[in-house]
Structure 1
Amino acid sequence: MKLRLGLPKGSLQEATFQLFKQAGFELTVRSRSYFPTINDPELEVVLMRAQEIPRYVNDGVLDAGLSGLDWIMENEADVVEVADLIYAKNTSNPIRLVIAVANDSDIKTVADLKGKRIATELVRVTEKYLKSNGVDAYVEYSYGATEVKVPHLVDAIADITETGSSIKANNLRIIATVLQSTTKLHANRNAWKDPWKKEKLQNLSVLLQGALRARSKVGLKMNVPGDKLANILEVLPAMKQPTISQLVQSDWVAVETILEEIQVRDLIPALKRGGAQDIIEYPLSKVIP
């Protein structure tokens, strides 16, 4: 038996392949191919546009897939959310669907969009948002280059942004956030009812989430004199408690902990001053709580 999995081709492809590699899955794809090989005989992978994946999962053509919440909503797909995977093309932050206008536009709020023309790839999501705010506007599908259409072709756009830098670079101003979206591992409802496929997806979820969790953390090892241990433990963070083991025929101990990488820069000098020696920092592949 195999689980047929849809992965996003395009802007999110490289980040997805890197995540799978960290989780233990080697994906290889030839140029112009849509069917990567993977070092798991129980997985069959298909590459396609993230916009289409929820529809094929909904229809049962795919057992499961990775795509953003925005595209699940746009396709009105009735799927099972297996895992929330917070990663994007360039960062580990959620992306946003925002409404933006030209910097010098008279449009200041969503209410000002009444009767205006808006371009977007997410037509249904945008229309629902406007309707919920009591705004009647014309929403048209954009086939690309959405940001350059303001103000010459449309009055506003609803577009995905990760950092907001592209919006600013095109002299646009955000007036509202329609939704915040993250990548979702989602499954077809019938596939989720199959015990084998459900377990396979749950296992995949554990590994992918563990890989993401590890990205912000590192391991730290050190040797500490026994009479300095209390001082070290006062400043040393840990996921639960540090691991402490006695060195052979010595009054020294080895201390090991997992912590946020951002803490290490200031922590290591403090540990050194506190008496720690042989300090080693090392990266992590997965963190499974």
Structure 2
Amino acid sequence: MLSIALPKGSSLEQRTLRLFTAAGLEVSRTSERVYRGTIAYDGPLKVAFFKPREIPKVVEDGTFDVGLTGADWIEETGAKVEHVVSFTYSKTTDLPWRVVLAVPVHHAAQTVQDLAPGTRVATEYPNISHRFLHEAGIHAELVPSYGATEGKIPELADAIVDVVETGSALDHNGLRIIETIRTCTPQFIASPRAWSDAARQRTVQGMARLLSAAHHRAADVLLTVRVPARHLDRVARSMPERAWSVGTGLRDEGLVVVQGLAVRDGLAETIDGLLAAGAADVVETEAGVFASMLPKTP
């Protein structure tokens, strides 16, 4: 039976469970407070919930075959895992989150280079923070934090390294960002042992394709654009990256029909850009399922 570790009690939990449900991989458990469950796929799959910071290591050592966690915790723990597929979402948005260095709004520092020697930096990411500050040539004192890091200033720290999505928590606590250290996304990962087994790798790849298709279905819309042939080159430059020319207009051979998958976030600006480039009209529809091949080991 394949086993999977999913995030519990974090910003990733509910968005991840919705993604799995949309992919037809709904987690079955008796209560949201239960830490064990199953997925009716190839077996079924055994599910357990952990803090995101714990997941890279339990996957690395083979306790669990696959897991989903943030890229920040994979880097922080230094876990050696197989990266199968990544997604783009956070707790409240369809965008990545960031690990940032922040200081009080009235602090003199504008960049990391402006921090004085001995600056106290509170963080849940000691390894990421140490590497970042070391590379910047800054000698700082790292203060361990186990949550509510913004509240460590001013008594326990002078600056923080923490996660932000929209930045509103920093604003509410009188802090401002002076450096973005990492941009992070959810990662679907596999243990080296599971990935080296052909049968388990096929199951993992199948799950990854279902999750990827569901993610694209939620994040993208299909744009159908009618373009006068004389404006095709200009409009094509404004089309999303995944775009295809699908033929000419049924009644007007002077029109070319182009389709493409566009990200929902910023969609209005995308459509405005297409019309400004010369498109005759743009129709937005649900994208449906978009699936692609995923890399395989030799």
Range of TM-score over shorter length: 0.7 to 0.9
Q: Distance in 2 between matches of 1:28 and 1:244?
A: 48
Contact 2:243–2:258 at 8 Å: present in 1 too? no
Equivalent residue, structure 1, for 2:72: 70
User: Structure 1 residue 256: deviation in Å?
Assistant: 9.8
Q: Spell out the pairing of 1:31-46 with structure 2 (5 A cutoff).
A: 31-40=32-41, 41-46=43-48
Contact 1:207–1:286 at 8 Å: present in 2 too? no
Letter matched to residue 85 of structure 2: A
Contact 1:101–1:151 at 8 Å: present in 2 too? no
Q: Distance in 1 between matches of 2:95 and 2:48?
A: 25
Q: Distance in 1 between matches of 2:63 and 2:20?
A: 22
Contact 1:58–1:79 at 8 Å: present in 2 too? yes
Q: Distance in 2 between matches of 1:243 and 1:287?
A: 21
Equivalent residue, structure 1, for 2:20: 20
Larger radius of gyration: 1
Change in Cα spacing, 1:142 to 1:220, as seen in structure 2 (3 Å) is closer
Equivalent residue, structure 1, for 2:254: none
Structure 2: runs of 5+ lacking an equivalent: 251-256, 293-298
Equivalent residue, structure 2, for 1:5: 4
Change in Cα spacing, 1:99 to 1:280, as seen in structure 2 (3 Å) is closer
Change in Cα spacing, 1:66 to 1:243, as seen in structure 2 (3 Å) is farther
Equivalent residue, structure 2, for 1:133: 136
Q: Distance in 2 between matches of 1:159 and 1:283?
A: 36
Equivalent residue, structure 2, for 1:180: 183
Q: Spell out the pairing of 1:239-250 with structure 2 (5 A cutoff).
A: 239-242=243-246
Q: Distance in 2 between matches of 1:113 and 1:285?
A: 53
User: Structure 1 residue 132: deviation in Å?
Assistant: 1.2
Change in Cα spacing, 1:179 to 1:190, as seen in structure 2 (3 Å) is same
Letter matched to residue 49 of structure 2: L
TM-score between the two structures when normalised by the length of structure 2? 0.78
The size of the alignment, in residue pairs, is 274
TM-score between the two structures when normalised by the length of structure 1? 0.81
Change in Cα spacing, 1:127 to 1:181, as seen in structure 2 (3 Å) is same
Contact 2:28–2:37 at 8 Å: present in 1 too? yes
Contact 1:23–1:286 at 8 Å: present in 2 too? no
Change in Cα spacing, 1:136 to 1:39, as seen in structure 2 (3 Å) is same
Paired residue secondary structure (1:239): strand
Q: Spell out the pairing of 1:205-244 with structure 2 (5 A cutoff).
A: 205-219=208-222, 239-242=243-246
Identity of aligned residues (%): 36
Q: Distance in 1 between matches of 2:39 and 2:249?
A: 40
Letter matched to residue 115 of structure 1: G
User: Structure 1 residue 48: deviation in Å?
Assistant: 0.9
Structure 1: runs of 5+ lacking an equivalent: 247-254
User: Structure 1 residue 38: deviation in Å?
Assistant: 2.0
Equivalent residue, structure 2, for 1:162: 165
